Amino acid sequence: MDVTFKRTGERRYGLIVTAPGQGTRQKDPAPGYDDHIPHDLVHYVVEAELGLAGGVFGRIAGGGGGLFQIDDDVRDHRERRRQARRQRRREDRLRREDHAGQADMATSETYAGFCLIAWKRRHGYRGEAAAWLNPEIPRPEEDPALGRILDRLDRIAPLWNALPVGGSLTFRWPGTEPVRP
């Protein structure tokens, strides 16, 4: 599965996911624009580094992914409804598996929140914790996973910031190195 983060404007980005047999899914503009690194790119790195199969990107790779609009040419309304029902069933199955397992989606949200703030603070930017996030952000030396994620963000953020409007970074899930910088 290829995951592309595309700078679509001075203060916006899009997310394009291409998975074999699933078509292309996209969201533009994608939520969580940040001047330094997009929120969804932080999510991607968190989920890839932690091996979260039940996070946003792991779910898409597993056949889920209701968060994104699917690009397709289906004009038959019945077929479109059938596809939507199948997608809901896949999402329900993935949600049940996640709740029965390690609650990967919640882990992804928590780590993405921690990591974005910790990364900003590491680089001298203002990093304010959201009200729902525990204000006690662990330090990288206390949590080796956090340290690995921050180091990876240190390598990816300059690549993102160097992109012109229209430029993109593509990753092959679950890899954390761009395949087409």
For residue 127, pLDDT beyond 80: no
Nearest 10 degrees: Cα torsion 127, 10, 18, 91: 50
> Which residue segment(s) compose the domain that 40 sits in?
2-172
For residue 179, tell me if it sits in a domain. Answer: no
Q: Return the pLDDT at 179.
A: 94
Q: Tell me the average pLDDT across 124-128.
A: 75
Do 6 and 164 meet the contact criterion of CB atoms below 8 Å apart? no
3-state DSSP of the chain: CEEEEEEEECCEEEEEEEECCCEEEEECCCCCCCCCCCHHHHHHHHHHHHCCCCCHHHHHHCCCCCCCEEECCCCCHHHHHHHHHHHHHHHHHHHHHHHHCCCHHHHHHHHHHHHHHHHHHHCCCCCCCCCCCCCCCCCCCCCHHHHHHHHHHHHHHHHHHCCCCCCEEEEECCCCCCCEC
How many domains does the chain divide into? 1
Residue 12 falls inside a structural domain: yes
Residue 64 lies in a domain: yes
Average per-residue pLDDT in the chain?
83
Tell whether 43 is covered by a domain. yes
**What is the chain's length?**
181
- The answer to whether residue 181 is domain-embedded is no
Task: Give the model's confidence band at 133: pLDDT under 50 very low, under 70 low, under 90 confident, else very high.
Answer: low
pLDDT in tens, 48-92: 999 998 888 988 888 776 555 555 555 666 766 776 677 677 667
Q: CB–CB of 47/108 below 8 Å?
A: yes
Quote the pLDDT of residue 141: 73
Domain presence at residue 178: no
Structure tokens at 101: 């397992």
Is 180 a member of any domain?
Answer: no
- Global pTM value: 0.80
Dist. CA 178–CA 170, nearest whole Å? 5
